Amino acid sequence: MRKLMIPAVVVVLALLLMSLFVIPEGQRGIVVRFGKINKDDGGKAALIYKPGVHFKLPLFDRVKRLDARIQTMDGRADRFVTAEKKDVIIDSYVKWRIQDFGRFYLATGGGNSLTAEALLERKVTDVLRSEIGEREIKQIVSGPRNEEVLPDSADSDVVTTEAAKKALKTDGQRDQIMDDVLTDTRESAAKDLGVQVVDFRIKKINLPDEISESIYRRMRAERESVARKHRSQGREKAEVIRAQAELEVSTILAEADKTARVTRGDADAKAAKIYADAYSESPEFFSFLRSLKAYRKSFNSKNDVLVLDPSSDFFKYMKNPQGNTATK
């Protein structure tokens, strides 16, 4: 009897241990019996086991633990076509978590996360491709404006001008694209996969190398055109400034020459007046000074030969200091 008790105790303990299972924190569990998920008391939804210790039927029940935390699906960058028939390469990520564990288990073939992400990525890509195909590149790469420029009118509460409508229509729609993808994908993923899409974000938008090169060439040509325009405008302004400077210089020189001539004329007039006054005071002395200057100029050069009549008036002050030609 004792020999049978030991194996019986071992079997009971083994069955007891096999009937216990633990769900870690951050996970949820479902029990599969004969290939079917155990339902709750209503028989409509799967019976979900929260973190803790639980019981199951040994040998018949199989426990599947599923991650209940928010997970990140960071897919590879993909190529999309815009409304302008131009390619863009978009890199994005999705935040998701399991909402309906029973549906998730059935939709992914046993709760496989990789299968779930592959299906979810296909849904996100399809919706994103549709959104990108309806917009131009400038709407995709830019976000909404922080503020609208309104006309200076105290009575107008709504902008109805065509320019304002056009600016609002062509405004950046990157945030709107992310919201639309999140809304459309969230409904589809919850219905088909039992997954709640928490968030969708576009990380990076690039252009293919061939398109980037053509855009760079066009931007370079535009910048060179603007540079040429600025240089031509600068040369034009330089010519205007140079002409104005030359005009001012000519005007200043003319005014200075005029002032110099007037000053010189006044000085000559004053000198002539002084000479005239001096001549009128002592004509003989003035004649004597003029003769001395003439002598100095005439006899200054030793190489010159001067032929004059000794009895001429030129030598009158040499013959007689008084300048009297009658005296011999």
pLDDT value for 85: 86
Residue 169, pLDDT score: 47
What local confidence, expressed as pLDDT, does residue 126 receive? Answer: 92
Separation of alpha carbons 194 and 113, rounded Å: 12
Map tokens 């592959």 to a residue.
118
Residue count (the chain): 328
Q: Quote the pTM value.
A: 0.56
Q: How much is the pLDDT for 121?
A: 92
**Per-block average pLDDT, block size 10, for the chain (328 residues)?**
71 76 88 82 78 83 88 88 88 92 87 90 92 88 56 42 48 85 91 92 84 79 92 93 94 94 92 81 73 72 65 63 51
Q: What is the pLDDT of residue 167?
A: 46
Tell me the angle at which helices 174-192 and 113-133 cross, rounded to the nearest 10 degrees. 140
Residues contacting 106, CB < 8 A, separation 6+: 37
Helix (H) or strand (E) holding 165: helix 162-169
Give the model's pLDDT for residue 316: 65
Q: The tokens 């599969």 sit on which residue? A: 32
Kind plus residue range of the DSSP H or E element containing 29: strand 27-33
> What does the DSSP 8-state code read for residue 87?
E
Dist. CA 286–CA 41, nearest whole Å: 149
Q: Name the 3-class secondary structure at 303.
A: coil
